[in-house]
Copies of this chain bind each other. A is one copy, B any other.
Amino acid sequence: MIRKRAILTVLAMVFALGFISLAKAETADPFPSWNDGKAKQSIINFVTTVTNQGSPDFVPVGERIATFDNDGTLWVEQPMYSQLLFAIDRIKVLAPEHPEWKTKEPFVSLLKGDVEGALAGGMKSVGEIVMATHAGMTTDEFETIVTDWVATAKHPVTKRPYTEMVYQPMLELLAYLRANDFKTFIVSGGGIEFMRPWTESVYGIPPEQVVGSSIKTQFEIRDGHAVLVRMPELNFVDDKEGKPVGINLHIGRRPIAAFGNSDGDLQMLQYATDGTGARFGLIVHHTDAEREWAYDRKSSVGHLDKALDAATENGWTVVDMKRDWAIIYPFQKK
C-alpha cells in the first residue's frame, strides 16, 4: 500500500510537472535572446495580426511565406563572406593538380594569402575563383565537398565552426514564425548548393526552401549512373533585383515578410512589403563592434545604405544589434 501511494504521488508529480511545462509553453517568451523594445514588439504584433482569424489582415496558413537573406542576416559575413573563404580553402586543396596556378592570377596571389591582391581583378577574378572551385564535379560530389568543409572549417577571427557563427535571436525568430505556421525560406546571393547541405540542421530550413545564386548543371549518364555535372557557366545571380525574380521562380507567391541586412535585400523587401494586407520588413543593422561587427553605409561587405533609408520611408523594423539583442551567438546562451 505504501508503495502504491508512493507511485501515485510520483505520478501526480509527473502530471503536475507536465501541466506546468504545458502551461509554460503558452506563456514562455519565444525571444529570450531579444531585449524588450520596438523591434521585438513589432514582430509579435505582426504575427499576432496575421494569425488572428478575427482580424481583417488574417492570412491563411499556405500564404504565410517569410524570406530571409543569409549572409549578415542569419550568420556572420565579416571579415569576409564565408563562401569566399570556402573558395580560398578549395584553391589550396586543388593547387597541386594545377601547377599553372603558380604563375596565373588570381590564383598566385590567393596561394600567397594575398586575398586583396587576388580580388584586384574585380568580378572577373571572382568568377575565375568560383568556377575553379565550384564547377567540374557532379552535384553529389559538390555536396560532399561542402559538407566536409563546413564540418571542419573555422571562422578566421573566433576560430569557431561557421555553423556556430549564426545569430541566436534570428534562430528564435525562425522558430517563432514556424510555430505560427509560416514557411521560412532563405533567399541569398550565396550559392544555392553551397547552402543546402547544412541549412536544415543549422536553421531548420530544408533544401527545397533555399533560393540562391547558381551555375548551370547538365544531365549525364556517367559510368552508368544518372548525374548532374556542374558547369563553369553562370545560371542566376540571386541578388538585388534578382531576389524578387528568384522568389517568384522558386516560391511562386509574394512573401508577406522579408528579412535582410544590406542593399542586396532592398528589392526583396520592396517586393514583400508591397502586397495587400499586413506586411513586414526587417533590416538587421550591424551596430555592435564589440560583440560582432559595426558596419553599414561605407562597407563593401554587407553594404547598407539605400535599404536603411528605405526602412525609414516604409516603416520597416530596423534591428539595432547592440541594443536589441541580449546575446549574438548560440554558444553565449546561459
A219: CB under 8 A from chain B?
yes
Contact B219–A271 (Cβ < 8 Å)? yes
Contact B192–A226 (Cβ < 8 Å)? no
Give bound CA distance, A139 to B275, whole Å: 13
Chain B residues near A193 (CB, 8 Å)?
Answer: 252
Q: Give the contacting residue for A244; candidates B62, B207, B219; CB below 8 A.
A: B219
One of A20-28, A162-170, A210-218 contacting the partner: A210-218
Give bound CA distance, A218 to B240, whole Å: 11
Max chain B Cβ within 10 angstroms of own Cβ: one of A207, A225, A235, A241: A207
Max chain B Cβ within 10 angstroms of own Cβ: one of A235, A248, A252: A252
| Chain A residues within 8 Å of chain B by Cβ, number | 37
Q: Which 5 A-B pairs have the closest CB atoms?
A: A207-B252, A226-B274, A219-B241, A226-B270, A226-B271
Contact A221–B183 (Cβ < 8 Å)? no
A200: CB under 8 A from chain B?
yes
Give residues of chain A (250-286) contacting chain B, Cβ–Cβ below 8 Å.
Answer: 250-253, 267, 270-271, 274
Give bound CA distance, A250 to B228, whole Å: 14
Chain B residues near A251 (CB, 8 Å)?
Answer: 207-208
Copies of this chain, tallied across the complex: 2
Give bound CA distance, A18 to B270, whole Å: 38
Contact A62–B271 (Cβ < 8 Å)? no
**Chain A residues at the B interface, C-beta cutoff of 8 Å:** 62, 65, 139, 183, 192-193, 196, 200, 206-210, 214, 216-219, 221, 225-226, 228, 235, 241-242, 244-245, 248-253, 267, 270-271, 274
Known A-B contacts A218-B241, A228-B245, A244-B226; the reply to A196 vs B252 at CB < 8 A is yes
Q: How far is the CB of A300 from chain B (nearest CB, A)?
A: 23
Give bound CA distance, A190 to B217, whole Å: 20
Q: How far is the CB of A200 from chain B (nearest CB, A)?
A: 7
